[in-house]
Structure 1
């Protein structure tokens, strides 16, 4: 039985919640990522003004990413280039700290940023699934989402560097 919009709007959390298409799942993932960033912002030390400004600029872009599959395209080349620039900024600031796999741990908001990174990967995977299902969207979306996941990782490294917290290497027995 297909669900339909209830008469009582208190029983309806999202206009597309009863869809069976993957588009709704994608939108929920991007919303989740935006919420994770809100958590990070609430935990970010006051002196990290550059990171705060970047995350505050990123939240609306993630909602633009959200609406870019169902609605009008909202992620553009200049957004990707801005994010790449910010990635490079943090990567250069903590150059050489990570040379292999590290365990996703550290003081707040580092673990929360690792959750952002994982959700970013889920968004990339969902875009793959949407494309596989025949949904058309601009190529900028997976490009932006991939840079986004990488950006969150480099932020974890930069924050731990500023806080003088060591990375904990992970040596894989699998690869």
Structure 2
């Protein structure tokens, strides 16, 4: 018996878990991101119904992003247009609130949203690694994942504003 392919499927968490290709890492990262969005949804205080609805839709899109490298493309221009519209909506609602770097902190679910932002960046980096290793993917995936990271940031600003929490500026000594 191959120890990487147990006979008892209860001992196998994911069919591709023993692959050495980057596709599996990408799929795990998008799965983690989708799970973190679920945590945000559980942590959202009352009164953020619009955000809740957007995150509900976003979870499905993240799973579509997940399968779009190994399987059929599941992210389309309409999805990108929708996410850009939601980004613009929350950005306009918080215009002028952030003018530079801010520290990633605040009450729940803000830190979790920041983890989602970081997770989306990891997805972008894994797409880069996939391409570097000869795996082709539709350019819309990179566009969507980059936009996703930016969306999560603007959502942190929106949620903090809605909770009456100020941003804490960070002034870098490096740049």
* TM-score (normalizing by structure 1): 0.98
In the comparison of the two structures, how many residue pairs are matched?
174
TM-superposition CA deviations, 1:59-111 (whole Å, max 9, x none): 01000000000000000001001000000000000000100000000000000
What is the DSSP-based 3-state SS (H/G/I as helix, E as strand, rest coil) of the residue aligned with 1:103?
coil
Quote the offset at 1:3 in angstroms: 5.4
TM-superposition CA deviations, 1:142-163 (whole Å, max 9, x none): 0000000000000000011111
The residue aligned with 2:102 is 102
1:43 aligns with 2:43: yes
The residue aligned with 2:88 is 88
Paired residues of 1:3 and 1:18 also in contact (CA < 8 A): no
In the TM superposition, 1:20-39 aligns within 5 A as 20-39=20-39
The 1-side partners of 2:37 and 2:24 are apart by 20
The residue aligned with 2:159 is 159
What is the DSSP-based 3-state SS (H/G/I as helix, E as strand, rest coil) of the residue aligned with 1:151?
helix
Q: Which runs of 4+ in 1 moved over 4 A?
A: none
Quote the offset at 1:46 in angstroms: 1.9
Unaligned runs of 5+ in 2: none
Quote the offset at 1:126 in angstroms: 0.4
What is the DSSP-based 3-state SS (H/G/I as helix, E as strand, rest coil) of the residue aligned with 1:20?
coil
Quote the offset at 1:4 in angstroms: 2.7
TM-superposition CA deviations, 1:31-56 (whole Å, max 9, x none): 00000000000010121011000000
The residue aligned with 2:117 is 117
RMSD: 0.9
TM-superposition CA deviations, 1:102-131 (whole Å, max 9, x none): 000000000000000000000000001101
TM-superposition CA deviations, 1:10-38 (whole Å, max 9, x none): 21000000000000000000000000000
In the TM superposition, 1:137-152 aligns within 5 A as 137-152=137-152
The 1-side partners of 2:4 and 2:10 are apart by 14
What is the DSSP-based 3-state SS (H/G/I as helix, E as strand, rest coil) of the residue aligned with 1:105?
coil
The residue aligned with 1:11 is 11
